[in-house]
Amino acid sequence: MALIVQKYGGTSVGSIERIKKVAERVIESSNRGNKVLVVLSAMAGQTDALIEQSKEITESPDPRELDVLMATGEQVSVSLFSMAVKSMGHDCCSLLGFQAAIHTDHIYGKARIRTIDSKRILRELDKNGVVAVAGFQGIDEKRNITTLGRGGSDTTAVALAAALKADMCEIYTDVEGVFSTDPNICSRAKKIDRISYDEMLEFASLGAKVLDIRSVEFAKKFNVPLHVRSSFTENEGTMVVSETKEMEKVMVSGVVFDKNEARVTMAHVPDRPGIAFKIFEPVFRAGIVVDMIVQNTSVEGFTDLTFTVPIADFQRTIALVQGVAKDIGVDTVVGDEEIAKVSIIGVGMRNHAGIASKMFETLSKENINISMISTSEIKISCVIEEKYTELAVRALHEAFGLGDEKAEA
């Protein structure tokens, strides 16, 4: 008897009809002799709606109460799902994060899973065959409700699969798998049959929201086989697995974009020891994650410094940096929220030269200006003006020959 974790995202449980369909699918899997641990997201749009409601009370809701509120979205879907399964004559039990003993740290809105005590889940699985756990939530050491960050239900699913040593973790979503680029913006995007954990980590961290980055980190660390597939069809999706020699033959496997970063530039920064520390220390202390950093060579003892942060932290970052600017004698701090980061990814890049130049050439042919560049072993990222994102993605997708011949251009 196999133990399978199946996670269904917001669109997959977006209506009562959809919840019933998911219930049928889960029962089928159970009737084939599997134990099925189901992890559900909130119904599509619900988490956003809850956040909007909190904003009607105050622009900066209390983080603890916001987590209590956001966690209700998943409570609705697991209870409705469990009712649906029972109404179809099969046993089922819903569990919220605290009942499933998903213990996290205490960082509201971005909590990390520390441990899972699987006793209750295993007991309920033995009894019912199907158990539905609310994704995206846990409890801290003081039994406060925490949430894991947007998209966090993927992480709940993979963490549970790792804790229970499940035979498979299936992520059901609204597309047929992981594609060479977002299929919703490029009709020629091609489904990838097998992708390595490392490539998937880059896809997720550079903006492909099909999997939450922490879920991929867990999957890699605990070797959880992941199958990303559609809840609307029976087709095979994408397997996320350890890297094989075959995979290195592919130079570029995907194009990813991220519109959720903003750029901060400080001009005429004195070039002397300790300045970078002075600028970034308060930013880091505020828990803001800085992504790209570019500093020019100094001219006559002064340099320019540009970096990117998540758009949600942009205003806070500007305020913090302006505070330091006065201290160090910088009078120009400018920011830009209308940027996008476009990246190409591929494990084959390690062994192939000329990929960066092809990327720059492709963007230049489209007359798109590159304002920042960063590279790693298996990716190249360029920051461009946000309005050119789709154009850049499609041009790069074409230039690296990633298009699906079957799809219309």
Binding site for ligand ASP (CB under 6 A): 9-10, 41-42, 47, 73, 135-136, 150-154
Identify the helix (H) or strand (E) that includes residue 322. helix 314-328
Residue among 40, 35, 38 nearest 126 (CA): 35
Contacts of 180 (CB under 8 A, 6+ apart): 189, 190, 192, 253, 254, 255, 397, 402, 403, 404
| Interface with Mg ion: number of residues (CB under 5 A) | 2
CA angle 226, 83, 227 (to 5 degrees): 10
Cα R_g (the chain), whole angstroms: 23
Among 14, 151, 237, 403, binds Mg ion (CB under 5 A): 151
182 interface partner picked from ligand ASP, Mg ion, ligand ADP, none, CB below 5 to 8 A per type: ligand ADP
67 interface partner picked from ligand ADP, ligand ASP, Mg ion, none, CB below 5 to 8 A per type: none
47 interface partner picked from ligand ASP, ligand ADP, Mg ion, none, CB below 5 to 8 A per type: ligand ASP
Cβ at position 124, least distance to ligand ADP in Å: 24
State which residue, 129 or 183, has the beta carbon closest to ligand ADP: 183
Q: Is 156 in the site for ligand ADP (CB under 6 A)?
A: no
Query: 118 phi and psi, to 5 degrees?
Result: -85, 5
Cβ at position 136, least distance to ligand ASP in Å: 4
The DSSP bridge partners found for residue 5 are: 37, 169
Q: Are 296 and 304 in contact (CB under 8 A)?
A: yes
How far apart CA 50 and CA 229 sit, in angstroms, is 28
Residue 151's alpha-carbon distances to 110, 200, 326, in angstroms, are 11, 15, 38
State which residue, 21 or 209, has the beta carbon closest to ligand ADP: 209
223 interface partner picked from ligand ASP, ligand ADP, Mg ion, none, CB below 5 to 8 A per type: none
169 interface partner picked from ligand ASP, ligand ADP, Mg ion, none, CB below 5 to 8 A per type: none
State which residue, 97 or 177, has the beta carbon closest to ligand ASP: 97
Sketch the per residue contact string, 11 through 50, with ligand ADP: x for CB under 6 A, - otherwise: xx----------------------------x---------
Among 111, 208, 240, 372, binds ligand ADP (CB under 6 A): 208
Contacts of 166 (CB under 8 A, 6+ apart): 3, 4, 5, 37, 160, 224
What DSSP line would sit under 33-102, residue for residue?
A: T-EEEEEEPPSTTHHHHHHHHHHHH-SS--HHHHHHHHHHHHHHHHHHHHHHHHHTT---EEE-TTTTTE
State which residue, 7 or 35, has the beta carbon closest to Mg ion: 7
136 interface partner picked from ligand ADP, Mg ion, ligand ASP, none, CB below 5 to 8 A per type: ligand ASP
| Residue appearing with tokens 């960063």 | 374
State which residue, 7 or 103, has the beta carbon closest to ligand ASP: 7
How far apart CA 291 and CA 276 sit, in angstroms, is 15
Q: Is 175 in the site for ligand ADP (CB under 6 A)?
A: yes
Q: What are the start-end ranges of the H helices in 97-190?
A: 119-128, 153-163
How far apart CA 370 and CA 303 sit, in angstroms, is 20
Sketch the per residue contact string, 124 through 153, with ligand ADP: x for CB under 6 A, - otherwise: ---------------------------x--
135 interface partner picked from ligand ASP, ligand ADP, Mg ion, none, CB below 5 to 8 A per type: ligand ASP
| Stretch of residues binding Mg ion (CB under 5 A), selected from 5-13, 243-251, 303-311, 372-380 | 5-13
User: Helix or strand or coil: residue 224?
Assistant: coil
First to last CA, the chain: 45
Binding residues for Mg ion (CB under 5 A): 9, 151
Binding residues for ligand ADP (CB under 6 A): 9-12, 41, 151, 173-175, 178-179, 181-184, 203, 208-210, 254
